[in-house]
């Protein structure tokens, strides 16, 4: 087609007329891609093309705007003139948007203010999105674990002739127009998109796949621990992964061979030991957790032992104290008096009768008459020790004995000295 047009233009070189040909009257582009509107022109040799401008209108017979001007040194952000001023008048649009859809017309200027527009047949640009279709496994569209589905990326511009890349949650996943997902599981859940392999900016709409499944990984966690004091409580939490979320939790306590339901919340408090497990349920099924065994700490043996030991020790201590005090008192009673006391004075009175007229071998010492009795005192003084000296036994102290001589003196008998008996 291009070669044929080139031949026609070359054949018209000798013709002194204006001519413009568009290779495509209807152009389709995917949003985000780049598209070229091909264009060839011929002008009389007597005229020189100074400017080539492309205009755009949304609909026929409406006011439009210029999107490209070859005389401008700078290139616009998305519209780029890729032709020349002799033969090629093509326009390239990058990152096509839906607002770019419409009718495009080229205009040539040779210096006249109005320029010259050629051809009443201008190309029309259509902008489309990539779409994804899904084969649903059931009528309500729910995707369950184990199902299989197919995703097809559709480019309405050229059907399935394009090369596609599939993305899952923004990451490349597969290639080809159709994505096959079989025996699905929770790992297949996510957001899927497709794009043209040659244009990464051409992203389709997002299709979300949510794989539903029954409860999994059901488990029980216990706080503070599996063994607590008698005055404390167990806090048990039942957790499970499910889609849709778990609708009901049921707690069971194993009593002998029976399972008794004791609660219906994910969190359960108990002050009793024993074996427990929970069941998580949603519309796709249920699952039991493993059994946990809770224990209450026992202090009875230790308490009884302490009750026996403490009184026994107390009795022994008291008995030992009593025996010690008794012995001490006994020893004190048996110990002799170490304090000698005050010095005592003993006085002995001796009455001597009158001496008889008896002659001794040594001569008469007492002769007739009365005898005068002389009283004498005998003192026994116990020596006291100094406070700085070690006390001694009083029996060891020597007693100072003062001896006095008793003399009988003969006196004449005098009645005045006579006392009646």
pLDDT of residue 421: 39
Which helix (H) or strand (E) segment holds residue 137: the answer is: none
Residue 228, number of CB atoms within 10 A of its CB: 19
On whether the pTM is more than 0.85, the answer is: no
Q: CA 89, CA 20: separation in Å to the nearest integer?
A: 9
Longest pairwise C-alpha distance within the chain: 218
Contact 183, 206 (CB under 8 A): no
CA atoms within 13 A of residue 133's CA, in its CB half-sphere: 9
Answer yes or no: are the C-beta atoms of 127 and 58 closer than 8 Å. Answer: no
Task: Give the pLDDT of residue 419.
Answer: 44
pLDDT at 20 over 80: yes
> C-alpha angle 380/382/383, rounded to 5°?
135
Burial status of residue 174 (CB atoms within 10 A of its CB: 0-12, 13-18, 19 or more)? middle
Question: Is the per-residue pLDDT at 141 higher than 80?
Answer: no
Q: Token pair of 406, please?
A: 């008793």
Contact status, residue 13 vs residue 28, Cβ threshold 8 Å:
no
Q: Which of 141-150, 247-256, 362-371 has the lowest mean pLDDT?
A: 362-371
- Pick from 7-16, 313-322, 396-405 the range whose average pLDDT is largest: 313-322
DSSP for 295-339, written as a single string = EE---HHHHHHHHHHHHHHHHHHHHHHHHHHHHHHHHHHHSPP--
Instruction: Please check whether residue 35 is in contact with residue 96, taking contact to mean a CB–CB distance below 8 angstroms.
Output: yes
State the pLDDT confidence band at 215, using cuts at 50, 70 and 90. Answer: very high
What pLDDT does residue 161 have? Answer: 64
pLDDT tops 50 at residue 417: no
The residue-averaged pLDDT of 255-261 equals 84
pLDDT digits (tens, 9 = 90+) for 353-405: 444 444 444 444 444 444 444 444 445 444 444 443 444 444 444 444 444 44
DSSP symbol at 355: P
Q: What is the pLDDT of residue 75?
A: 56
Mean pLDDT of all residues in 313-329: 82
Query: For the chain, what is the mean pLDDT?
Result: 77
Residues whose CB falls within 8 Å of the CB of residue 313, separated by 6 or more in sequence, listed in order:
none
Task: Choose between 352 and 286: higher pLDDT.
Answer: 286
Bridge partners, 165 (sequence order): 175, 195
CA triple 77-82-85, angle to 5 deg: 125
Q: Tens digit of pLDDT for each residue in 346-359?
A: 444 444 444 444 44
**Domains of the chain with CATH codes:** 2-128 (2.60.40.10), 131-209 (2.60.40.10), 212-296 (2.60.40.10), 342-386+396-421 (no CATH)
pLDDT at 199: 85
Give the whole-angstrom CA distance, residue 184 versus residue 201. Answer: 29
Angle at 67 between CA 63 and CA 69, to 5 degrees: 120
Mean pLDDT lowest among 32-41, 193-202, 320-329? 320-329
Give the best-scoring range by mean pLDDT among 200-204, 302-306, 359-363.
Answer: 200-204
Q: How far apart are alpha carbons 106 and 20 in whole angstroms?
A: 9
């Amino acid at each position: 087609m291009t070669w044929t047009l080139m031949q026609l233009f070359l054949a018209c070189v000798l013709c002194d007329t204006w001519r413009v040909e568009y290779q495509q009257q209807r152009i389709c582009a995917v949003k985000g891609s780049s598209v070229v509107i091909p264009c060839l022109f011929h002008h009389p040799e007597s005229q020189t093309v100074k400017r080539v401008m492309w205009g755009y209108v949304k609909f026929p017979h409406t006011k439009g705007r210029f999107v490209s001007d070859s005389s401008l040194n700078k290139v616009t952000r998305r519209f780029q003139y890729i032709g020349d001023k002799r033969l090629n008048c093509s326009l390239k649009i990058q990152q096509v948007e839906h607002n770019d859809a419409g009718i495009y017309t080229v205009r040539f200027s040779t210096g006249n203010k109005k320029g010259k527009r050629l051809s009443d047949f201008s190309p029309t640009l259509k902008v489309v999105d990539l779409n994804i279709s899904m084969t649903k496994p059931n009528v309500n569209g729910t995707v369950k674990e184990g199902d299989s589905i197919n995703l097809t990326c559709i480019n309405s511009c050229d059907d399935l002739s394009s090369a596609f890349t599939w993305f899952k949650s923004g990451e490349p996943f597969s290639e080809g127009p159709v994505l096959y997902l079989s025996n699905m599981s929770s790992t297949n859940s996510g957001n899927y998109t497709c794009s043209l392999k040659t244009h990464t900016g051409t992203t389709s709409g997002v299709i979300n796949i949510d794989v539903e499944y029954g409860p999994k990984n059901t488990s029980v966690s216990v706080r503070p621990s599996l063994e607590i004091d008698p005055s404390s409580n167990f806090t048990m939490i039942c957790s499970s992964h499910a889609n849709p979320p778990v609708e009901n939790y049921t707690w069971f306590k194993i009593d002998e061979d029976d399972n008794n339901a004791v609660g219906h919340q994910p969190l359960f408090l108990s002050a009793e030991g024993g074996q427990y497990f929970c069941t998580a349920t949603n519309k796709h099924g249920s699952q039991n957790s493993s059994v946990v065994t809770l224990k209450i700490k026992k202090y009875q043996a230790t308490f009884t032992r302490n009750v026996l030991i403490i009184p026994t020790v107390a009795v022994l201590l008291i008995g030992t104290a009593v025996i010690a005090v008794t012995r001490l008192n006994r020893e004190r009673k048996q110990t002799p008096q170490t304090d000698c006391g005050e010095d005592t004075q003993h006085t002995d009175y001796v009455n001597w009768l009158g001496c008889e007229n008896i002659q001794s071998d040594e001569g008469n010492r007492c002769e007739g008459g009365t005898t005068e009795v002389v009283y004498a005192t005998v003192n026994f003084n116990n020596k006291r020790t100094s406070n700085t000296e070690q006390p001694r036994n009083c029996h060891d102290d020597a007693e100072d004995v003062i001896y006095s001589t008793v003399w009988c003196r003969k006196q004449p008998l005098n009645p005045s000295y006579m006392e009646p008996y």
